[in-house]
A and B are shown apart, each in its own frame.
With several copies, the nearest count.
Chain A
Amino acid sequence: MKVVYFAWVRERIGLPKEEVETSAATVADLVAELRTKEERYEVAFSDLSALRVALDQELSDFEASLEGVKEVAFFPPMTGG
């Protein structure tokens, strides 16, 4: 599964994207797995209320299923306009 990061999530994790081998059922499960990987993931995911998630480029939420999903994106609240 392709996992991509933007803005300060990208900076804290230290890379813009990576391939992740996972059997996580939901976004929350995937986050739990990532947090155990390394300290920088723990820091990036420490406050989920400050994060947003998109599945295959559609805004979603942490309870959503990852079934069939090819690309997961994590980023802070958006600040366009």
Chain B
Amino acid sequence: MRILVQEAPFDVGAEAKAFSEGLSASGAAVTFTGIVRDNAEGNLVEMLIEHYPGMTEKALTKIATEATERWDLEDVLVIHRYGSMKPSDMIMMVATASRHRVAAFEAAEFLMDFLKSRAPFWKQEITKDSASWVASKEEDEDALKRW
């Protein structure tokens, strides 16, 4: 298991390659990458992500550990950035590996659902003349109920 909370960009290709090449007993690897998307008005200048140093690492470790307890996973990777990002920048990624595809998919979705609403990150959208905190979505809270 590898949990990284960092301000610096990460290389999604290098991470995906290292993750899949490090496996010895898995037939399936799933990755999810979160990307800064422009806002509805198409004028996003910057995405700022605030986090809670200390708690962030604990929360991500807890979520990843729970995934390894629920599914038979050979490895789990979680990378999440904080600080300033531009549209099309990579915000975060998770990767899961298991013998079978269903476990790898389910564990990745579980990680994403919990990471969305249970890891202490807050997104702020900056345009030329406004800064607004992204509101949490009811559907994200609802997504936790299936697990």
Which A residues touch B112, using CB under 8 A?
A: 81
Decide if B67 is an interface residue (CB 8 Å cutoff). no
For B50, give its contact among A6, A57, A59, A81 (CB under 8 Å): A6
Q: Assign chain A's interface to a size class.
A: 10 to 19
A78:B117 contact, CB within 8 angstroms: yes
Contacts A7-B50, A54-B55, A73-B55 hold; do A81 and B92 have CB atoms under 8 A apart?
Answer: yes
Q: Closest CB of chain B to A50's CB: distance in Å?
A: 9
B58:A78 contact, CB within 8 angstroms: no
Interface segment, one of B13-21, B38-46, B69-77, B132-140: B132-140
Decide if A36 is an interface residue (CB 8 Å cutoff). no
Which B residues touch A73, using CB under 8 A?
A: 52, 55, 120
B116:A80 contact, CB within 8 angstroms: yes
Contacts A54-B52, A57-B55, A73-B52 hold; do A7 and B124 have CB atoms under 8 A apart?
Answer: yes
Can you list 12 pairs linking A and B with CB atoms under 8 Å apart?
A7-B50, A7-B122, A58-B58, A59-B59, A73-B120, A75-B120, A78-B136, A79-B116, A80-B117, A80-B121, A80-B122, A81-B112
Closest 4 CB pairs of A and B: A80-B121, A77-B136, A57-B55, A7-B122
